[in-house]
């Protein structure tokens, strides 16, 4: 379900309660077609639920559900682009109007350390047939561990693409760089906070940590650490047509797996502190530092088969400016496969740049010590462990 006026929201809550609460989604054993307004089915043994969710229109919409996602096979929506959308066909993990997936760990309090490990990815396809829509994530938060009914904390939307003249709910309140991209930030309140991040420049895929956007919401005063995340959904809001929209693949993980948020700490042998991205920044060019280990996503590094040290799933440890001299700053930058983002993790505890041959070096032991490249000397300030 999506943002609506309070009156419409109240009506929809009643409808949703009647058709969804306490009704388990049947499993999709093969490709399944759904044409009923609120029809849904589970896939991958109940790990995800796919829903048609035609909440804003009386015309028929059909979706074809596969084991990895869904596609809109038929839709004839034709709604004004300055109003609410027709539907939100989507795939989700968590609980939505009484339908809960298996193994999601949701609802989960934001203050729980596992929240920072929640990550998700999606790959989408867009038609070229004049459809008007947005392609978006819809992530719900409630003051209580709610599994049914309308969430009243916050709704986080992440728009990957949009067509026509549609825009996010409310008004634009700022811009921000997160998850390797620039976003417009929009805000509205319909009895709950609706915070939408609209990507500047469309994309058909994304892989990100939920906490990345939620931290920005907290900083803006639109969310609370005491709230619970209840579901992570990805799909489309069509206004006109919508046939051909598709989620090809969707993933959700908590506390493990190959998604961002799972990884290892890089701990300095001399300092005992972790390699850290200050203030959980995801801005390209942010210089990394030492900081007390805290288990957060900004200290979680994945060493890839391409010798990259990734954080957040899409940013890499980088020798600034492809520098090869002593004192070169070590930063994060969007992963690009270049040799200044490749590192050898050696058995003696050193981490050396493939391009420079220099060692990752901490010139101090205090919180905030900025890391650099330096000629390898075998000292403890150049030894690290991945754990």
Catalytic center residues: 155, 237
Cα 341 from Cα 332, distance rounded (Å): 9
Cα 66 from Cα 306, distance rounded (Å): 32
SS3 content of the chain, % helix, strand, coil (to 5): 10, 40, 45
103-139 in b/e form (b: 16+ CB < 10 A) is ebbbbbebeeeebbbbbbbbbbebbeeebbbbbbbbb
Cα 289 from Cα 198, distance rounded (Å): 30
Give the ranges where 186-232 is alpha helix by DSSP (H): 210-219
Question: Are 291 and 367 contacting, i.e. CB atoms less than 8 angstroms apart?
Answer: yes
Residue 170: strand, helix, or coil: coil
Write down the residue that tokens 């959700």 correspond to.
252
Sheet with 384-386, edge to edge strand ranges: 289-291, 274-276, 266-268, 384-386
Pairing verdict, β 108-109 and 274-276: unpaired
Cα 219 from Cα 195, distance rounded (Å): 12
Question: Are 33 and 214 contacting, i.e. CB atoms less than 8 angstroms apart?
Answer: no
Please spell the DSSP secondary structure of 58-122, one letter per residue: SS-EEEEE-SS-EEEEEE-EE--TTS--S---EEEEEEETTEE-SS---SEETTSGGGGG-EEEE
Cα 210 from Cα 194, distance rounded (Å): 15
């Amino acid at each position: 379900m999506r943002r609506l006026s309070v009156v419409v929201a109240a009506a929809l809550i009643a409808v949703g309660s009647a058709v969804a609460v306490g009704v388990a989604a049947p499993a999709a054993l093969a490709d399944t077609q759904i044409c009923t307004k609120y029809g849904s089915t589970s896939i991958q043994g109940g790990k995800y639920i796919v829903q048609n969710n035609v909440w804003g229109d009386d015309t028929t919409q059909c979706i074809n559900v596969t084991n990895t996602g869904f596609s809109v096979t038929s839709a004839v929506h034709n709604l004004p682009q300055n109003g609410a959308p027709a539907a939100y066909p989507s795939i989700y993990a968590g609980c939505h109007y009484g339908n809960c997936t298996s193994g999601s760990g949701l609802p989960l309090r934001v203050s729980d350390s596992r929240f920072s490990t929640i990550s998700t990815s999606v790959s989408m396809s867009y038609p070229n047939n004049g459809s008007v829509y947005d392609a978006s994530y819809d992530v719900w938060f409630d003051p209580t561990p709610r599994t049914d009914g309308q969430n009243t904390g916050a709704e986080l939307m992440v728009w990957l693409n949009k067509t026509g003249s549609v825009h996010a709910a409310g008004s634009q309140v700022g811009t921000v760089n997160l998850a390797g991209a620039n976003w417009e930030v929009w805000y509205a309140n319909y009895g709950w906070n609706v915070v939408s991040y609209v990507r500047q420049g469309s994309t058909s895929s994304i892989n990100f940590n939920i906490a990345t956007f939620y931290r920005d919401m907290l900083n803006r005063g639109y969310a609370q650490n005491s709230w619970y995340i209840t579901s992570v959904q990805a799909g489309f809001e069509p206004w006109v047509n919508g046939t051909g929209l598709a989620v090809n693949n969707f993933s959700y993980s908590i506390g493990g797996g190959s998604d961002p948020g799972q990884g290892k700490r890089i701990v300095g042998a001399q300092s005992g502190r972790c390699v850290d991205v200050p203030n959980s920044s995801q801005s390209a060019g942010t210089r990394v530092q030492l900081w007390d280990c805290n288990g957060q996503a900004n200290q979680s590094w994945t060493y890839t088969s391409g010798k990259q040290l990734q954080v957040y799933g899409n940013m890499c440890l980088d020798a600034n400016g492809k520098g090869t001299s002593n004192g070169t700053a070590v930063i994060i930058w969007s992963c690009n496969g270049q040799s200044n983002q490749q590192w050898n993790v050696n058995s003696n505890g050193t981490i050396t740049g493939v391009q420079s041959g220099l060692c990752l070096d901490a010139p101090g032991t205090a919180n905030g010590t900025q890391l650099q490249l330096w000629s390898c000397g075998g000292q403890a300030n150049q030894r690290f462990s991945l754990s």
